[in-house]
Structure 1
Amino acid sequence: MKVWGLARFVVVYELRLWAALFRWVFRRPVPVEPGTSRFGYIGAVRMILIAFIAVSAIEIPILELMIPWEPVANVLLFAGVYGLIWMFGLYASIVVHPHLAGPSGLRIRNSLTLDVGLAWDRIAAIEVRRRSMPPGGQTQLEDGVLSLGMASQTSIDVRLTEPLVLPVRKAKGQPVTTVRFHADDPEALVGAAREFLGQAATKNR
């Protein structure tokens, strides 16, 4: 079952990656709820991804010249081209799946691997707070604080009204009281979020 589950994950991931590349190339953003604003987060990793793409592109003709055996060269050429397109797809998946702040709540995302939704009545406060993360990966949970980093940094703190179990694998079902994540323009995201929080508070009076 684990093998089939992994195979299914890989297939679905690849299909969604190609769909993201299609949307990015043809500038067709994913439809969102009316009144929703998009906030990117690729800035922290843009140069790293561009460097990987450049290296992948340079490797293709070099390997073609270095390998004298045509069958092997053709296989490596296919792998190189596919890898290059895959890197563009990864870049695209980050661009076309931004954070969202809309009437229904806040959605914190990271490419195709993370999508955490928080209703406004679950959020007590949100603020800009730039932090560097310690070693331990881009997703860390300690003392109820869930850090969802990009390039080992976060720039926004979200304090929840009560402990919540969020659909994040590394959280392992443990309750979370604060979520930290990164956005390229944290001030704009926090400003939009506070407007929705104010509207939600007015409705609940």
Structure 2
Amino acid sequence: MTARGLLRTAVAFESGIWRSLTRWVRRRPDVPAGADAFPYASAASPVLWTFIVLSAVEIPLVDWLLPWPSLRVALLVVGVYGLLWMLGLLAAMHVYPHTVDDAGLRVRSGFSTDVRVPWEEVAAVRVRRRSVEGSRSVVVAEEGGRRAVSLAVVASTQVDVELRTSLVLPLARTGGRPVDELRLAADDPAALVRRLRAGMSDHAARTDVAPRADGDAR
């Protein structure tokens, strides 16, 4: 990536942090009218809150320990900025949930990932709890000639969404290669699967495309 591309990415990420924090403070999650929201932040929230509390304790402690006023001011600014930045990351997970509406499924991971899957591309959904290797939130796996992408939270996913046809998704990690299955995290995977199956049935009734009954929503 070029220097200009890196700068653009950094600015977009910074903007996303502050936009998320603003939405969270105002209690205005990004959920369109008529859509059902399905959060996924419960597993990551305790970890982020731990770092936030430790940072909040560290700020006055450092200020008290250092004898140099200019350095104290500089570290105070850095500390407060870092604290707000972590709060912004936490806020992003809360204000950008997965959503399901008449158009299909919208899968998100904070403000950085936004994938839309229309009903006609959803073949089957199931609850399946998986562990994901590594610390990345987006992981691509090749399995038996099929490609699955996991949008993990704390190295785990709970819902599999099988696609009817291979799709190229707007995820840099896939390298532009088509994907056959999405795996995502959800606080209530059974509720998400039930809602998805209801939407698939409604879409099938309108278009005569039968959904695949696969697994259960427990």
In 2: Cα distance, 1:197 partner to 1:93 partner:
28
Is 1:199 matched with 2:212? Answer: no
Q: Which amino acid aligns with 1:29?
A: P
2:176 to 167, 173, 176: 173
Residue 6 of structure 1 corresponds to 6
- 1:67 maps to what in 2? 66
Structure 1 counterpart of 2:189, which letter?
P
Question: Could you say which residue in structure 1 is the equivalent of 2:149?
Answer: 146
* Residues 55 and 188 (structure 1), Cα distance of their counterparts in 2 relative to 1, 3 Å cut: same
Matches of 1:186 and 1:49 in 2, distance apart?
22
How many equivalent pairs are there? 204
Distance of 1:135 and 1:64 partners within structure 2: 36
Distance (Å, rounded) in 1 between the aligned partners of 2:9 and 2:180: 29
Give yes or no for the alignment of 1:99 onto 2:98.
Answer: yes
Paired residue type of 1:191: R
Equivalent residue runs for 1:1-205 within 5 Å:
2-32=2-32, 34-135=33-134, 137-143=136-142, 144-205=147-208
**C-alpha separation in 2, matches of 1:137 and 1:19:** 23
Structure 1: 5+ residue stretches without partners:
none
Letter aligned with residue 172 of structure 2 = R
Match of 1:150, as an amino acid? Answer: V
Question: 1:7/1:67 Cα in 2 relative to 1: closer, same or farther (>3 Å)?
Answer: same
SS in structure 1 opposite 2:77?
helix
Post-superposition offset of 1:136? 6.3
**3-state SS of paired residue (1:130):** strand
Given the superposition, is the C-alpha separation of residues 132 and 82 from structure 1 closer, same or farther in structure 2, using an over 3 Å criterion? same
Deviations 1:58-100 (CA, angstroms, capped at 9, x unpaired): 1101110121111111000000011111111111111000001
- CA shift, 1:169, in A, is 0.9
Deviation of residue 146 (structure 1)? 1.1
Q: Give the alignment's TM-score, normalised by structure 2.
A: 0.89
In 1: Cα distance, 2:127 partner to 2:190 partner: 6
Distance 1:117 1:72 in 2: 47
CA distance in 2, matches of 1:43, 1:127: 20
Please say if residues 162 and 181 of structure 2, whose CA atoms lie closer than 8 Å, have aligned partners that are also in contact: yes
Identity of aligned residues (%): 39
Following the alignment from structure 1 to structure 2, what is the Cα–Cα distance between the partners of residues 139 and 13? 16
Assess if the C-alpha contact under 8 Å between 2:127 and 2:193 holds in 1: yes
Q: Normalised by the size of structure 1, how large is the TM-score?
A: 0.95
